[in-house]
Amino acid sequence: MRVLVSVDMEGIAGVVHGEDIQPGHSEYERNRSLFTSEANAAVRGVLAYRADAQVLVTEAHAQFRNLLPERLDRRAELLRGSPKPDGMMAGLAADVDAVLFIGYHGKAGTPRSVMAHTISGGCIADVRCNGRSLGELGLNAALAAHHGVPSVLVSGDDTVAAEAAEVVPGMHTVVVKRALGARAAALLHPDEACERIERAVPLALADRDAVRALRFDGPVDLEVQVLRPHMTEHALLVPGMRRTDGCTLRYAAPDFPTAYQVTELIATLAAR
């Protein structure tokens, strides 16, 4: 068995503010430790389910250099650094049996959600595939589904758990904090959060056949809405890219992996 663990930082227990997860701020080093601990909890859960499993941990926050490698469970392999193929989903392949999302957050525009955003908190207002609005959870689960891989568990706040019920029916959820606003939450103790993740992972892996993630077969009509008109300008250099209003870019992708890559490209170019 091969399991991919994609670990983001905004949904980690204890994290409530942008300064908590940015290098150079006083809280960052402590939260790197919490980030690594939740990743380890997921690894332990996988190995409790199947002792001989191969576990890939792929960093999914910012420049993908936040987790403490020396503190990661030595039985896991770490995918670190940027850029990586498929970004937050580096390591995804048809031979992966399941994906776990640890420390995830709500999509851009989600009310009362801790640090909700999509791809880039400073650029992207919405991503729509064939008219369906998706955040990072939905996009990543749909990419996994394209490869026939079930996304079986997500941890984070209660708003991402609610989002999971809409875009990935059958997915298990671990709520490690209850959102009180964009920068406030009622938090589990970090040790309790890790214990709940570790206990939930084997159950989620056992139920992986019940997952029904959103899947896109065939061409995808991609729309990416950015926050300000000037953020569209570099992306318009991409052949086939169109601007349908001041802040919305549209692209006809031949398949979902292409739509996924173009979304990442737009986010990168919008931030320039």
Domains of the chain: 2-117+135-210 (3.40.50.10780)
Report pLDDT digits (tens) over 156-213: 999 999 999 999 999 999 999 999 999 999 999 999 999 999 999 999 999 999 999 9
Is 136 annotated as contributing to ligand binding?
yes
pTM higher than 0.75, yes or no? Answer: yes
Q: What number is the average pLDDT over the span 11-23?
A: 97
Confidence label for 65 from pLDDT (cuts 50, 70 and 90):
very high
- CA nearest neighbour of 117 among 93, 79, 83, 88: 88
Tell whether the model's pLDDT for residue 41 goes beyond 90: yes
Indicate the average pLDDT of the chain: 97
HSE of 180, CA atoms in CB hemisphere, 13 A: 9
Q: What number is the average pLDDT over the span 237-259?
A: 98
Beta-carbon contacts of 103 under 8 Å, excluding residues fewer than 6 positions away, are 7, 8, 9, 10, 11, 12, 15, 35, 38, 60, 61, 155, 156
**pLDDT of 178:** 98
Confidence label for 122 from pLDDT (cuts 50, 70 and 90):
confident
The catalytic site residues sit at 117
CB 126 within 8 A of CB 133: yes
Taking each continuous run of H as one helix and of E as one strand, the counts in the chain are 5, 12
Is 10 annotated as contributing to ligand binding?
yes
Identify the three-state secondary structure at position 249: strand
Q: What number is the average pLDDT over the span 137-156?
A: 98
Q: What are the CA-CA distances from residue 137 to residues 81, 116, 247 (Å)?
A: 20, 11, 23
Is 209 annotated as contributing to ligand binding?
no
**pLDDT of 14:** 95
